[in-house]
Structures are given as structure tokens and as C-alpha cells.
Amino acid sequence: MCIGHQIRRLRKAAGLKAADLADVLGLDASAVSNLEHGRRSVKADELGTIADFLGVSQLAILEPDSLMGRLGAAHRTNGNEFSNKDSLLRLTAIAELHQVLDEGGHPTPLRTDTPPQQQDSTWLQHADALAKWSRKRLRLASSGEARLAELAAAIESKLRVDVMVESMGENAPLGLSITDADFSFILVNADQPKTSALLTLAHELGHVLNSNQTTIHTNTDLPAQSDNEHLASAFAAALLVPESEVEKIIDEYGRSAESLAQMLENFGVSYETLSSRLHNLRIINTERRDQLEAAGWTGLIKHLSNEEVARDLLAVSGARPQRRPPTLLAWRCLHGALDGTVGVSPLARLLDVDVDKLIENLNPIENLNIVGSDAAKAINGDFSVPDAPTDLLQSFNEDPVAF
């Protein structure tokens, strides 16, 4: 596909008019038509303007068959522009970094297992199947606040999907994800309660596991409008709040405030998520769910007999997630920076550290190639505490301290 044809494809996918492209380029309609049909070449200074107009990376235009080309206008839905441009640009920059690293000999680790595919099942049945498959592989053991960090690490180590938690602003999406056979990535907004961030991470994982095409998904607090969104939400609830674990807690604590508190502490989800999950499991009816939601989280704390548990829930309510770099991508970027595939700046941006300080820290690593066997000997040597010098021991033995 020629560059002009790719520009036309991306423009139409974004719902933009050729006349608008002509305006930003300062060309007439016939010149743009010639450009899009391959009868006129694209000048170097025009490429950046066109990419900005389309809201895509220049690589999406130059390399249609690459990840950036496949992503293309994936951030647009029904002709409406993405709700937060800064978040989109961040995700685009990450995808661009992946592509440069991949082409430079630093590919992303391949998944060793594939999730079940939806065939004759409904979206709800498929969500349950995906959750069961994921729980078996992720093997989550932590409870409460620790679940977010554990889930993120397990997604990377077991499923080979990068997870990043980063501040994107209060008005930005709760989370975003890239679903692609070659590169899947989850970005969670740190500017939300930790309980919400946990659900967002699980929701985006649902999109990654359920998708068989290259797309960008966004997670907002708006009601779901499609089966894909319903599936991702159902998957997240089933993954984080397993029915069998709910039943165990009810058997032990009964149907009480203490039971609800124990669930919140174990599962690390919000009060609203828990009440909705209990309703979906048909453990409570619609009337009881509405009553629980009306009482609210503060009502639950008020009715707890155990003050220590109540204080723990109170502390968790205001907790925000810590920033987390995508370790798989950062590792690839480190090796890319060492061999010159990329500069140090992308790695510094991933790790949120000062560029100059990072360069200073990387210098000893680069010098290992010069030191060679001496460096290997030092790294692999014995780190035990050395014996004290003989003369020092003798001085203590010959002249003990007198009291």
C-alpha cells in the first residue's frame, strides 16, 4: 500500500474530510486527491502535519503493516475523537517505542499459552471461562491493597502482557489497553482509588484476552454500551471476586456486616463492585442490592462491631496506587539503550527518573564490556563478610578492655 492510500484510509477511518486535510496543508482539493491516490508524493515537512491531523504516529503512515499501521485510527469510535488526547499520545508513544525496539532486535516476550476462544457461548459464559482460565494461571494469593501489585506482576510474568500504572489526570480515562497479537499493553490511571485501579486493571485484561484484533480500548466510568465492554466488566468481577471464595466467607461469617467487610478486605475491590457482584451471583436480590448501595460504605463501617476492621477499611478507602513501570518493556528498553537501538530518554520516561542520573547509572554497566572477566569475577564472587585482619584480632586478645 502506498503512503497516499494509507493516508486516505486513516482519514476515512477517523471520519475526517479531505477538505480539512487540504486546509491544514495549505493545498487545494485536487492536490490532496493526487496525494491520496499516489499521483503526488508526500513531502517530508508535510508528513508530520498529516500525522498530527490524523492523530496517529508517522510510523502509522509510513509502515501500514506494522503495529502503528494496524493501530491507525483505532482510537476513534463512530467518528468521535478520543476523549483525552494526552492519554492517547502516551499510548501511541509506547506502541512506537515497542516497534522501534522490535525492529532493532529486542522483541517482546511471546505468550506461552492462549486463552479460550468464544464459540457458541454467550458473552457472560465466555467471561466466566476466561476468568477461570486466568485464575488458574495467575494464582493470586494476596488480599486487600496488595492485590493490585500482585495482579500486575502476575499478568506480566505469567501472561507476558505489559502493565503500567501512571498518573494521567482526574479527567482522563481510568485505563487503556492495546490488544495486538505481537504487543499487548495495559495502562492504568493512578489518579483513582486503589480499589478502582484494581478493577480497571482486571477490566483491561479482559479486553486483551478476549480480543483477536489490533485495537485500543478505553475504560471510563460511563455505563457499558457493547457486549465487549459487558464481557470485560463481567470478567473482572469473576476474576477478582470468585464465587467459591464468596461462599466460603458467607459460610464462616454468615450474612452480616462482618461478612461484607471480610470480602472487601480479601478481594480488595470497592463496596459498589462487591454489592454488584453479589447481585450478579444471585446471592442477594435487587431489593437487597439497592438497600446495600443506599446504606453505602459508611453505613457498613458504622455497623461493624470490630473497630480494628473498621479502621482498616477506612484507611484503604483513601489509598491511591503507586506508579508502576512496565517491566517487560523497560527491560527491552534498557538493552536497546545499551546497544544504541534507542536513546536513554524513553527508558527514563518509563522509569520516571532524571535522564542525566540514568545516564550516570548506566555508565558502569557499559564499562563491564571493558573490564571483561574481572567484572564477571567481581559479580559472581563471594559477598560474605571477610575475616578481620590478624593483627587486629591479636590486639584485642593481647590487650582486652579493662573494666
Q: Same domain, yes or no, for 75 and 180?
A: no
Q: Same domain, yes or no, for 52 and 106?
A: no
Query: Cβ distance 236 to 202 under 8 Å?
Result: yes
Q: Same domain, yes or no, for 124 and 196?
A: yes
φ/ψ of 259, rounded to 5, equals -65, -45
Instruction: Determine the number of helices (DSSP H) and then strands (DSSP E) in the chain.
Output: 21, 4
Give pTM, 2 decimals: 0.82
93 inside domain: yes
User: How wide is the angle at C-alpha 55 spanned by C-alphas 33 and 349, nearest 5°?
Assistant: 145
385 inside domain: no
Q: Same domain, yes or no, for 66 and 104?
A: no
388 inside domain: no
349 inside domain: no
Q: Same domain, yes or no, for 179 and 138?
A: yes
C-alpha cell at position 292: 446495600
Cell 515537512 locates to: 45
CA neighbours within 13 Å on the CB side: how many for 179? 20
> Residue 259's beta-bridge partner residues?
none
- Grouping H, G, I as helix, E, B as strand and the rest as coil, residue 184 is coil
End residue of a domain, out of 81, 101, 129: 81
C-alpha cell at position 77: 469510535
Burial (Cβ within 10 Å: 0-12, 13-18, ≥19) of residue 206: buried
Q: Same domain, yes or no, for 143 and 272?
A: yes
End residue of a domain, out of 312, 341, 370: 341
Q: Give the separation between CA 253 and CA 192, rounded to whole angstroms.
A: 30
- Grouping H, G, I as helix, E, B as strand and the rest as coil, residue 396 is helix
291 inside domain: yes
Q: Same domain, yes or no, for 13 and 120?
A: no
Q: How many domains does the chain have?
A: 2
Element (H, E) at 151: helix 146-159
CATH of the domain at 9: 1.10.260.40
Q: Same domain, yes or no, for 50 and 188?
A: no
> Alpha carbon 387 to chain centroid distance?
48
393 inside domain: no
Q: Same domain, yes or no, for 33 and 147?
A: no
Q: Same domain, yes or no, for 189 and 215?
A: yes
Q: Give the separation between CA 133 and CA 141, rounded to whole angstroms.
A: 16
Q: Compute the 3-state secondary structure of the chain and give helix, strand, coil in percent, each to the nearest 5.
A: 60, 5, 35
214 inside domain: yes
Q: Same domain, yes or no, for 226 and 258?
A: yes
Q: Among 105, 131, 83, 382, which residue's Cα sits nearest to residue 281?
A: 131
End residue of a domain, out of 81, 102, 118: 81
100 inside domain: yes
Q: Same domain, yes or no, for 36 and 129?
A: no
Domain that holds residue 36: 3-81
What is the full per-residue pLDDT of the chain (403 aa) written as tens digits? 688 888 888 888 778 899 999 999 999 999 999 999 988 888 888 998 998 888 777 888 888 877 877 776 544 433 334 456 788 878 888 998 999 999 999 999 888 788 988 878 899 999 999 999 999 999 998 888 899 999 999 999 999 999 999 999 988 999 999 998 889 999 999 999 999 999 999 999 999 999 888 888 888 777 767 888 999 999 999 999 999 999 999 999 999 999 999 999 999 999 999 999 999 999 999 999 999 999 988 899 988 888 888 888 888 877 899 999 999 999 999 999 999 999 999 999 999 999 999 988 887 655 555 555 666 676 666 666 665 555 544 444 444 444 3
